[in-house]
Amino acid sequence: MTLPQIVDSHCHLDFPEFDGQLPDLIARARASGVTRMVTICTRLRHEPRVRAIAEAYDGVFYAAGTHPMSAAEEPMATLEELVSLAKHPKFVGLGETGLDYHYTAQSAPQQQISLRIHIEAAQETGLPLIIHSRAADEDMARLLAEGMAKRSYSCVMHCFSSGAPLAQAALEMGFYLSMSGIATFPKSSDLREIFASAPLNRILLETDSPYLSPVPHRGKQNEPAFTAFTAKTGAALFSITEAEFAAATSANFDRLFPKAAHMAKAA
C-alpha cells in the first residue's frame, strides 16, 4: 500500500534530544510517509549546524530566525543578515519569530522589534514568515497587520493554538494555520473547531518535534514520523480521507514554500 505523502513543516532536528539519531529518525519519517521536513533554527548563531542538517539530507529544508523567548538574550537580527541567509537554496522561510508573553512578557519591546525586522525580511525576500504566538494575540494581530499595510508578505502561524480572533485575522490576511499534535489532545475541542472552520487550503501540518507529541504518543518525545497521527485528526475534522488531507496540506506547503516546491520538482 502506498502511504500518503506528508510534509512536516516545522521541526527542530538540531535540538540535543535528537543527537546521534538523525539517520534513523529520518528513515522512520519516510517510512511513515513524511517525505519532506523543515527544520527550524531558533537562534541565528546556531544557523550553521541547522544548515548542515538540511544539506545532508534530501527532503530536509531549513528556516532561521530569533525565537521570541530568546529576543532579549540574543543579538538583534538585522535585515541584511536575514536576507543574506535566505540566498541558500535550502533556506525556505524566516523564523521562527513572533511574540511570547507567557514566560517572557518582560521582553515584549525587544520581541516586537525583532518581529518587525523579520517581517521586513519576509517582504524583501519573498519567503514566508514563520510565527510563534503565545499569550499575545492582540499585539500579534496588530503587528502582522501593520506590516501587511506597508507591503504584502506570506506567513504561517506555526503550531497554532491561539484564539479564534487571531485565527480569523491571520486568515483574512491570506496566512496559513499550522496544525500540531495539540489538535489531537482530548481537551483541544475549541482548537479543533477553529481548524475545522478554516479553509482546507490554508492548513499545514507540523510536529514541532521534539515537543508536543500527538495522541497516541503524547508525553513521549515527538519526531517527524508522528505527523501522520495529526494528519489523521485533520482528515476527520474535514470529513475526508487521510490521503486527501495529506495531498491538500502538501499542496498548501508547496504554495507557501515555493523554494522547497521548486527543489522537489527539480529532483
pLDDT of 267 = 58
Cβ neighbours, 10 Å, residue 215: 17
Average pLDDT, the chain: 97
The residues, any chain, with a CB within 8 Å of residue 29's CB and separated by 6 or more, are 8, 37, 223, 224, 225, 227
Average pLDDT over every residue of 173-189: 98
Residue 218: all three cell numbers together: 503524547
pTM of the full structure = 0.97
Taking only the tens place, the pLDDT of each residue in 74-109 is 999 999 999 999 999 999 999 999 999 999 999 999
What is the set of domains in the chain, with CATH numbers? Answer: 6-266 (3.20.20.140)
Report how far apart, in Å, the C-alpha atoms of 97 and of each of 71, 134, 231 are: 9, 11, 25
CA atoms within 13 A on the CB side of 80: 0
Q: Which residues contact 1 (CB under 8 A, 6 or more apart)?
A: none
Give the model's pLDDT for residue 1. 62
